């Protein structure tokens, strides 16, 4: 875990923090996302709070796993992905310079921001800690509630604008890598998942993939625009087991032994149907496995080969 170890060793006492609020991403899905960003002047106390949240976030991570379309992390782990595989460079360009024209000067500049970024600067190093904004940042939410504070043993209304800072970050960018704490929010902020529909379209037109089926239409209808199914089909493309003739021959021969009911025609082509599409995807992902100890058959969420 070189990135995590390196980040924990940072001398945050020497760090400068610049806070940016960002609206977006906007623009066509097929194009680079557009971010509208402004930086806000902060007090030393708020900067120290952001540093403390950053340090606490790092301490909660015990394990770093490679990012995968089907990979999942928990409250004590993070996923890791090279930043250059995402739109992070576009976001970094939007928050590159704290110029006068990009400074927050009124409440409306902060309202309805989708997320905020703490730029932590130590010497010539810049680390980005990103968090989806809470509901209190939305104009509609702020108008529907009133804040109250308890001070000097009295509860009173506080009419000042409030913008909540969470005690966590959704992902951290350093050393050319992204440590992902919230996969869903990372994918939303950097539009990482929106390319999956386009990837599935490319897979449908892949001659190697199409040639597996008598008719691919039932599978396309099954996947539709469902985000989970699109994610799975992208994983099918990434794994590429369908290109391995030995894999496909074993699937045809052994699938019944593994509790699958996939139908094949006389030429060995897959006969897709609404009843079997989920099993077809499971098989192409290589997610139907048998224990060598209990001989029981399981469906798994992800697969990591073990070196023997």
Domain residues for the domain of 231 are: 195-299
Query: Do the domain assignments include residue 308?
Result: no
76 shares its domain with 204: no
Q: For residue 146, what pLDDT is reported?
A: 60
Domain count, the chain: 2
Query: Do the domain assignments include residue 306?
Result: no
Largest CA distance in the chain: 83
137 shares its domain with 265: no
Query: Do the domain assignments include residue 97?
Result: yes
**pLDDT tens string 246-305:** 999 999 999 999 999 999 999 999 999 999 999 999 999 999 999 989 999 999 877 777
225 shares its domain with 199: yes
69 shares its domain with 145: yes
- In DSSP notation, 23-76 reads EEEES-TTSPPEEEEEEE---HHHHHHHHHHHHHHHHH--EEEE--TT----TT
Task: Classify residue 157 by burial, with Cβ atoms within 10 Å: 0-12, 13-18, 19+.
Answer: exposed
Q: Rg of the chain's alpha carbons, rounded to an integer?
A: 24
Strands 63-66 and 77-82: parallel
**pLDDT tens string 29-85:** 767 899 999 999 999 999 999 999 999 999 999 999 998 877 889 989 999 999 998
128 shares its domain with 19: yes
145 shares its domain with 207: no
Predicted TM-score (pTM) of this structure: 0.73
14 shares its domain with 149: yes
33 shares its domain with 65: yes
The rounded distance, in Å, linking the Cα atoms of 233 and 238 is 9
238 shares its domain with 185: no
- Tell me the three state secondary structure of residue 168: coil
21 shares its domain with 152: yes
């Amino acid at each position: 875990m070189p990135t995590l170890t390196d980040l924990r060793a940072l001398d945050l006492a020497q760090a400068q923090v610049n806070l940016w609020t960002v609206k977006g991403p906007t623009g066509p899905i097929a194009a680079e996302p557009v971010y509208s960003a402004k930086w806000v002047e902060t007090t030393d106390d708020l900067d120290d709070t952001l540093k403390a949240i950053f340090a606490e976030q790092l301490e909660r991570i015990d394990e770093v796993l490679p990012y995968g379309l089907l990979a999942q992390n928990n409250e004590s782990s993070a996923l890791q992905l090279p930043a250059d595989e995402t739109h992070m460079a576009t976001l970094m360009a939007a928050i590159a310079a704290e110029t006068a024209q990009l400074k927050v000067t009124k409440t409306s500049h902060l309202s309805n921001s989708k997320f905020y970024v703490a730029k932590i600067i130590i010497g010539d190093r810049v680390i980005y800690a990103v968090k989806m904004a809470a509901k209190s940042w939305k104009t509609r939410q702020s108008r529907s509630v009133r804040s109250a504070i308890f001070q000097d043993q009295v509860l009173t209304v506080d009419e000042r604008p409030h913008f909540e800072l969470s005690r966590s970050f959704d992902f951290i960018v350093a050393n050319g890598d992204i440590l992902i704490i919230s996969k869903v929010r990372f994918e939303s902020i950097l539009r990482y998942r929106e390319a999956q529909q386009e990837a599935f379209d490319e897979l449908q037109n892949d001659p190697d993939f199409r040639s597996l089926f008598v008719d691919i239409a039932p599978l396309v209808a099954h996947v539709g625009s469902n985000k989970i199914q699109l994610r799975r089909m992208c994983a099918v493309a990434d794994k590429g087991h369908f290109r391995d003739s030995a894999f496909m021959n074993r699937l045809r021969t052994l699938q019944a032994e593994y509790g699958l009911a996939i139908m094949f025609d006389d030429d060995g082509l897959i006969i897709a149907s609404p009843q079997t599409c989920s099993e077809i995807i499971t098989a192409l992902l290589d997610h139907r496995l048998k224990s060598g100890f209990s001989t029981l058959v399981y469906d798994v969420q992800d697969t990591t080969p073990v070196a023997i």
